[in-house]
Amino acid sequence: MIDAPLGVVDLLAIGVVAGGSLIAAVGGRRYRRLRAVTRRAVETTGTINRVTIQRVNGSGGSQSYVPVVDYEYRTPTERRDGTTVYPGNSRFAKQFGTESAAETVVADYEPDTQTTVYYDPDEPAHAFLIAEPQTAQAITTVVIGLTVLLGGGVLFMA
């Protein structure tokens, strides 16, 4: 064992490895959570109330579009309202680069019609219409975390 003190580069490498590990863990947790919610989702019937496309202004003047469907559905114990199209924490789970792409997603949803709604029996307020988990952001977070972690490993070896 070498009894040399840790240098600035060593401390930086440790911090980068820890940060990369944390980022990768957050992305992995998000990915597993989305997959689990989709797997345990229960089907019910809902009624479409309103269909819109919401424009989201990003940094630097960028814009994206989110399909929004207001619907109501019933669990075995209560009536609930939902707006989420895809599984995730919010209706912003999937954003589209063009308004027409977002409109394509909701083209089949008409007000005052019945549709299938999926909800999480562990958290009935978490409902969605399309049971496809949007995992691209979670996977990107894992890849970024692993890249940072590897960068810290390279620093540590230097």
Q: What angle do CA 45, 91, 68 make, to 5 degrees?
A: 70
- Does the pLDDT at position 39 exceed 70? yes
Highest-pLDDT range among 64-68, 71-75, 93-97, 123-127: 71-75
User: How long, in residues, is the chain?
Assistant: 158
What confidence score (pLDDT) does residue 135 get?
55
**Beta partners for residue 81, in sequence order:** 72
Tokens of 13: 């490498």
- Does the pLDDT at position 145 exceed 60? yes
Query: Each residue of 86-97: pLDDT tens digit?
Result: 887 666 667 788
Nearest to 34 by CA among 77, 90, 110: 90
pLDDT band of residue 78 (cuts 50, 70, 90) is very high
- Does the pLDDT at position 28 exceed 80? no
pLDDT band of residue 38 (cuts 50, 70, 90) is confident
When the pLDDT of each residue in the chain is averaged and rounded to a whole number, the result is 82
Indicate the residue type of 130: I
pLDDT band of residue 40 (cuts 50, 70, 90) is confident
**Which residues have CB under 8 Å from 141's CB, separation 6+?**
23, 24, 26, 27, 30
- Which tops the pLDDT comparison, 20 or 128? 128
DSSP annotation of 78? -
The three-class DSSP label of residue 129 is: coil
What confidence score (pLDDT) does residue 48 get?
96
What confidence score (pLDDT) does residue 44 get?
94
Query: Each residue of 122-136: pLDDT tens digit?
Result: 889 889 998 876 655
CA distance 17 to 153: 7
Residue 51 has phi, psi (to 5 degrees) of -130, 125
Tokens of 12: 């930086």
Tokens of 92: 């912003």
Nearest to 87 by CA among 19, 135, 21: 135
What confidence score (pLDDT) does residue 50 get?
95
pTM: 0.67
